[in-house]
Structure 1
């Protein structure tokens, strides 16, 4: 028997490469307001805590900047209208989800994006996902466990058969707060040494390796998690 029958996925940096659209949107607003812009390698470390936190880290002075609220609202509107310009699933991810669906695993997305955006991106790119859970009223954003717990409830999932998959320290802490094992992927928004230092249940470099981790039989996973 497989150790897991339910998988909760992070979205940005795990299933979807959203970096270019986020960078272009942030820099468009910063340039409009006369602020310095960011390179991709710099901006990627700001991601993982939602759009507001991204702008807090991107705008000089953060929330103390006198025009911050106006800039954040402009960014939110602009990004919503341009969030699919360059965004694409990472290579092999669509095939991975099809394989997992074929093996009978239940799957959900848990993201710090706005709930409506998460649902739309899920419909467009990942029809194999049963539940798409984004930031919404009444649920604290990650790394709080609220959205992960809501996704498990929606799926009827048992905690001891569920695993969380992400690409950052935010995802690792979300899994820990929800009492779930965490598998991290190295193709997202953090460098591999940062992820290794967290000591996740597994760290994988490609979707096929992730498939093997998610479909391991019970014994091999339990032994691995004790290492």
Structure 2
């Protein structure tokens, strides 16, 4: 299997980066401005990976498109500035890229490239595919199918790495093996139940999985 994998596709939020604290902070700024109840990080984690209308409806019981405009205008830049890659993200991406593997981001974020740029990670990826570039969001197969089309690769040549049941369902729908990360809101049992092929606690586990030298040897 190791030699058959030619590309790894990644979810972004809570897979490569911790965005939960910035999102929680900025959602609470929006909530204060709109007279909505404040939210906790734990509540926000339950919505990360959802398209905004669905996630915000979960948080507040309704969704108003006007909130999106206000958030983007007033708080989005601050949210992106607070994104922090996980400690192993950069070494692992360097190791994978250095081994000749192709890498991409497949996210339910709109304009996902802006967030990837804000995290300082665009150097690693062949492309970033966000919500605005697909017909149907995850868990539909469409985002992964489009990503594989850009790579010119089939499902057996790709792994999809994500932290939610939505990511696992997306991979299953596209016939791609899913690697679940416990860095978000799901534990090993939850990810396996959702269809994960493998579950990891840290991105460093990807390297031996695809036959790449230990990423701890890679220095910034």
TM-score greater than 0.5 by the shorter chain: yes
* Aligned partner of 2:160 among 164, 167, 181: 164
Is 1:32 the counterpart of 2:33? The answer is: yes
Aligned residues: 209
* Aligned partner of 2:127 among 124, 127, 131: 131
Q: Counterpart of 1:163 in 2: which secondary structure?
A: strand
Q: Distance in 1 between matches of 2:109 and 2:153?
A: 23
TM-score by length of 2: 0.87
Give the structure 2 partner of residue 22 of structure 1.
23
Is 1:76 the counterpart of 2:72? The answer is: yes
Q: Counterpart of 2:109 in 1: which secondary structure?
A: strand
Describe the shift of the 1:38–1:210 C-alpha distance in structure 2 as closer, same or farther (beyond 3 A): same
Give the structure 2 partner of residue 223 of structure 1.
none
Is 1:88 the counterpart of 2:84? The answer is: yes
TM-score by length of 1: 0.85
Q: Counterpart of 2:124 in 1: which secondary structure?
A: coil
Q: Distance in 1 between matches of 2:62 and 2:199?
A: 33
Describe the shift of the 1:170–1:34 C-alpha distance in structure 2 as closer, same or farther (beyond 3 A): same
How many angstroms does 1:163 deviate by?
1.1
How many angstroms does 1:82 deviate by?
1.7
Comparing 87-96 with 42-51, greater Cα deviation is found at 42-51
Q: Distance in 2 between matches of 1:85 and 1:128?
A: 19
Is 1:179 the counterpart of 2:175? The answer is: yes
How many angstroms does 1:177 deviate by?
0.8
In the TM superposition, what whole-angstrom CA distance separates every residue of 1:170-191 from its partner, at most 9, and x where no partner exists?
A: 0000001111110101112323
Where do 5+ consecutive residues of structure 2 fail to align? 213-220
Is 1:13 the counterpart of 2:14? The answer is: yes
Q: Distance in 1 between matches of 2:169 and 2:135?
A: 16
Q: Is the 8 A contact 1:94 1:126 kept in 2?
A: no
Give the structure 2 partner of residue 119 of structure 1.
113
How many angstroms does 1:16 deviate by?
1.4
* Aligned partner of 2:203 among 204, 207, 212: 207
Q: Distance in 1 between matches of 2:9 and 2:94?
A: 15
Comparing 6-15 with 124-133, greater Cα deviation is found at 124-133
Where do 5+ consecutive residues of structure 1 fail to align? 217-227
In the TM superposition, what whole-angstrom CA distance separates every residue of 1:33-84 from its partner, at most 9, and x where no partner exists?
A: 222101112221121112222222222x313xxxx23223212333422222
Q: Distance in 1 between matches of 2:57 and 2:13?
A: 18
Give the structure 1 partner of residue 52 of structure 2.
51
